[in-house]
Amino acid sequence: MSELVRLTDITKVYQGGITGALNGVSVTVERGEFTAIMGPSGSGKSTLLNLVAGLDRPTSGSVEVGGTDLGKLGEAGLARFRRDHIGFVFQFFHLLPNLTALENVLIPAQLKGTVVPGRARELLDLLGIKEVADKYPARLSGGQQQRVAIARALINNPTLLLADEPTGALDMHSGEQVMELLGRLHRDGQTILLVTHDAKLATRHAARVLSVLDGKIVDDARLESPERTASEVIRVRSEEASR
Q: Is 237 in the site for other proteins (CB under 8 A)?
A: yes
Q: Is 228 in the site for other proteins (CB under 8 A)?
A: yes
The angle that helices 117-126 and 142-154 make with each other, rounded to 10 degrees, is 130
Span of 9-17, 68-76, 95-103, 229-237 interacting with other proteins by CB under 8 A: 229-237
98 C-beta neighbours (distance < 10 Å), count: 10
CB of 144 to other proteins, least distance (A): 23
Q: In the window 23-82, what residues touch other proteins (CB under 8 A)?
A: 40-43
Q: Is 232 in the site for other proteins (CB under 8 A)?
A: yes
Q: Is 173 in the site for other proteins (CB under 8 A)?
A: no
Is the Cβ of residue 69 or residue 219 nearer to other proteins in the bound state? 219
DSSP annotation of 137 reads G
Instruction: State how far Cα 170 lies from the chain centre.
Output: 15
Span of 27-35, 154-162, 164-172, 220-228 interacting with other proteins by CB under 8 A: 220-228
How many residues belong to the site for other proteins (CB under 8 A)?
36
- Measured between alpha carbons, how far is 62 from 47 in angstroms, rounded to an integer? 14
Q: Is 217 in the site for other proteins (CB under 8 A)?
A: no
DSSP annotation of 109 reads H
Contact 106, 171 (CB under 8 A): no
DSSP result, 46-74:
HHHHHHHHTSS--SEEEEEETTEEGGG--
Binding other proteins by CB under 8 A: which of 207, 210, 217, 243?
Answer: 207
Site string for other proteins, 186-205 (x = CB under 8 A): -----------x-xx--xx-
- Measured between alpha carbons, how far is 102 from 98 in angstroms, rounded to an integer? 12
CB of 236 to other proteins, least distance (A): 5
First to last CA, the chain: 48
DSSP annotation of 207 reads S
Chain residues binding other proteins by CB under 8 A are 40-43, 197, 199-200, 203-204, 207, 209, 211, 213-214, 218-219, 221, 223-225, 227-242
